[in-house]
Amino acid sequence: MAEPAPVAAAPALQVRSLSKRFGGVAAIDALDLEVRAGEALGVIGPNGAGKSTLVNLISGALLPDAGALLLHGEEITTLRADARARLGIGRTYQIPRPFARMSVRENLALAARHAYTGTESPQAPQPIAGRCEQILERTGLADVADTAAGELPLLRRKRLELARALALRPRLLLLDEIGAGLIETETRALIKLIIELHREIGTIVLIEHVMDVITACCERTAVLASGKLLCVGATRAVLADAQVAAVYLGTSEATQDAAPADRAPPRVSQSTPGAVSRPAPHSAPAPASALLAVRAIEVHYGGVRVLRKVSINVQHGECVALLGANGAGKTTLARAISGAVPLAGGAIEFAGVALAGLAPERVTALGIAHCMEGRRIFSSLTVEDNLLLALPRMAQRAAAERLHRVYQMFPALYERRDRVGTAMSGGQQQMLAIARALMSQPRLLIFDEISLGLAPIAVESLYQSLAGIRAAGVAMLIVEQNIQRGLQLADRAYVLAHGEVRLSGTPGEIRNSQELRALYVGEDAATQDAT
């Protein structure tokens, strides 16, 4: 007699028609997903895909608007985060959040008191103490066990974040962007640790932009796009899928390789038609006429070298796109130009003036306006008050003239000039952030991921506004993860990866580069697809 077929293990986690909205934006939209017991599932997707929102919903940091969550068959949809921790859900945060004044050991002990226990009692002090010591050794924190968590550099804080999650003795471990900002040797060590943890814990959900971590650690990978599940399957097959690459590169939208008729000819010459330049770490100096010249700059966060010998330039009236996957160093470069982060090496000049060491307000006074990721408007002030705050002290008549020009470009803001920021949609708030940047009449505008989290119709409206700014002769540096969106207006583009400029050229050359996909979805996947 034939033996009965084995019964498939129940999923460790079931996500059923889960939805979460923020204002008019669906961050997670009727999502269905299963995490198999004992697997390491990767979750990837471009900025704004909903990955961190999904982690927050699973861990209990957020509650859904609709849908259900089941952990090993038990519904947990309405449980608080601490109750979910006691049921065996542990997580890390993208930005480490230890108790800064407590020691590393005390942080672990506090987490251990909320641990999943099964049949064991969490009150016995010796098991908790012993477990914490083992975790300290395992995560390389034993030598700083009595150091205040707030004094640790970034890499150590990331290790502490993982250690605290392990102290919960999780049945399901959620790792949110734990590889971000790590140098290559740290990434290799992290991969080894995750593989070891997978053998011990069993079920891991790994949200990550570092594709080396995904390919090394995850049997299956799910891809999110605009809050929906695009696909799920074997990791290498998913990363080799053309539709996945299209979502990352922005080519899922209609593309036009030809430059618009009114666009100035590209200012970068190539020795070979269609070739893309690959700058050496010490790139050739920018032309003397460059409005902005960034020369071999380095930026460090704690022990992490985020930018490595980066060189770019922007000419007068030129639009340059700064592209790359999340964590490539784009925002750090933008912040370095505007004076928000110090340089560890290299130089930046704007209109012939050295910017290193200047405070952000002095950089702004020279003619650089930075429209930062996240809008940063004063939500309790009216639209007009937000705009006026961007002005230096000047005559009332001159201020009125600038307001008039901005209102002409953004009629919707004029109609809402007496409303507070919270009374506007996300797209209108982003419009206000752009208008506020224009109030200082800058010579160079830096836009950092201004389309993030907005509906497609709002994004289209914003980019039409940028086209108007470009036509007025204002130089622009557009920081974007979406390749197609970033290249729409650009004369030239740079692509960053791991803090270095890896590609540069005209929009057509960037789109046609054989290396572009590898920089977004990993070398192995791109090679497999080409084969």
Bridging pattern class, strands 40-44 and 220-225: parallel
Distance from CA of residue 375 to its chain's centroid? 15
User: Is the distance from CB of 9 to CB of 35 less than 8 angstroms?
Assistant: no
Minimal CA–CA distance to 277: which of 491, 518, 515, 481? 515
CA distance 174 to 56: 10
If DSSP states are collapsed to H, E and C, what string results for 484-508? HHHHCCCCEEEEEECCEEEEEECHH
Q: Across-strand partners of 314?
A: 292
CA distance 291 to 117: 61
CA distance 166 to 128: 12
β-sheet with 500-505: strand ranges across = 368-371, 444-448, 475-480, 319-323, 492-497, 500-505
DSSP type of residue 476: E
Q: Across-strand partners of 35?
A: 13
pLDDT of residue 298: 93
Q: How many CB atoms lie within 10 A of CB 487?
A: 26
User: Is the distance from CB of 488 to CB of 323 less than 8 angstroms?
Assistant: no
Right CATH number for 13-249 from 3.40.50.300, 3.30.70.1520, 3.40.190.170, 3.40.50.150? 3.40.50.300
Bridging pattern class, strands 228-234 and 292-301: unpaired
DSSP type of residue 277: B
The pTM score is 0.62
**Token digits of residue 137:** 């050794």
What's the farthest any 2 CA atoms get from each other in the chain? Answer: 96
For the chain, what are the domain ranges? 13-249
**Token digits of residue 133:** 């010591």
Kindly give the confidence (pLDDT) of every residue in the chain, 531 residues in length, as a single tens digit, with 9 standing for 90 and above.
Answer: 344 434 345 799 999 999 999 876 788 999 999 999 999 999 998 777 888 899 999 999 999 999 999 999 999 999 998 889 888 898 888 777 788 889 999 988 888 887 776 644 444 444 778 888 888 888 888 888 899 888 887 678 888 888 888 888 888 999 988 776 666 677 788 888 888 888 888 899 999 877 888 989 999 999 998 899 999 999 989 988 888 877 766 655 433 333 333 333 333 333 333 333 334 433 444 555 799 999 999 998 766 778 999 999 999 999 999 998 777 889 899 999 999 999 999 999 999 999 988 999 899 889 999 887 655 777 778 888 888 887 766 666 777 888 888 888 888 888 888 888 666 766 778 788 888 888 888 899 998 887 765 656 667 777 888 888 888 889 999 998 777 778 888 999 999 988 899 999 999 898 888 788 777 766 544 444 433
151-165 per-position pLDDT tens digit? 887 678 888 888 888
